[in-house]
């Protein structure tokens, strides 16, 4: 990794203080293995998911996946809009034709549209369906910066389920993904505004 790429990244260094705090009494007993995930195809996500699945299934390992959610605004080159029925339109900046364009009539506010876009993505992730998550991204173009690490995680979870089914072992054990928090940096009201969304979730192994 080049120095420039490292400086542009804002993932592991954001988590290390929290990791240290959680494991401070055992810090000499743990080993951190950073994995930087770039822009991958859907098939590449499946390949890396297959490689990582055995480690994910090992209860001694903890995976932390870093991602913001929607980066909305002209400065992010993303001003897509979802109406109340979930129909996603093209860029509001192009539709409105002016920088401070506001959706007319009784349309939901832009920050509500962003929340709807994000929550649809969160639902796809909670369903654990890698292919459907990829289809959602292709349709909405949502600027989830960690979409590829999330894709690798979903592919790895699918691979562990597949292995257990084929080997008839642990078939009563399933993984559950649940989001526990969501927020936006600001409430976007017009195309002159911008925001970044944040969401957090956990993956838990459960007995059926």
pLDDT tens for each residue of 6-29: 777 777 888 899 999 999 999 999
Q: Is residue 173 within 8 Å of 164, Cβ to Cβ?
A: yes
- Averaged pLDDT of the chain: 87
DSSP 65: -
- Alpha helices (H) along 147-204: 147-167
Express each pLDDT in 168-192 by its tens digit: 655 556 889 999 999 999 999 988 8
pLDDT on residue 101: 72
**Dist CA 178 CA 173 (whole Å):** 16
Within a 10 A sphere around the Cβ of 137, how many other Cβ atoms?
19
Structural domains of the chain ordered from first start: 37-207 (3.40.830.10)
Q: Lowest mean pLDDT: which of 73-87, 98-112, 133-147, 187-201?
A: 98-112
* pLDDT for res 199: 96
- CA-CA distance, 67 to 147, in Å (whole number)? 7
CA 26 to each of CA 19, 22, 36, 51, 169: distance values in angstroms, whole numbers, following the listed order? 11, 9, 25, 28, 32
Give the C-alpha separation, 196 to 179, whole Å: 17
Which element (helix H / strand E) includes 33?
Answer: none
């Amino acid at each position: 990794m080049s120095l420039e790429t490292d400086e542009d990244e804002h993932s592991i260094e954001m988590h290390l203080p929290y990791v240290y705090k959680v494991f401070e009494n055992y810090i000499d007993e743990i080993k951190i293995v950073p994995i930087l995930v770039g822009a991958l195809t859907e098939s590449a996500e499946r390949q890396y998911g297959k490689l990582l699945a055995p480690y994910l299934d090992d209860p001694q390992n903890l995976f932390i996946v870093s991602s913001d959610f929607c980066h909305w605004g002209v400065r992010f080159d993303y001003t897509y809009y979802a109406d109340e029925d979930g129909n996603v339109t093209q860029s509001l900046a192009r539709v409105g034709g002016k920088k401070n364009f506001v959706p007319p009539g009784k349309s939901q506010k832009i920050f509500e549209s962003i929340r709807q876009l994000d929550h649809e993505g969160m639902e796809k992730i909670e369903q654990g369906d890698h292919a459907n998550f990829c289809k959602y991204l292709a349709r909405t173009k949502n600027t989830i910066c960690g979409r590829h690490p999330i894709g690798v995680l979903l592919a790895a979870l699918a691979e562990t389920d597949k292995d257990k089914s084929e080997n008839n072992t642990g078939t009563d054990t399933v993984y559950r993904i649940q989001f526990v928090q969501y927020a936006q940096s600001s409430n976007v009201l017009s195309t002159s505004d911008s925001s970044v969304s944040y969401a957090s979730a956990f993956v838990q192994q459960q007995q059926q």
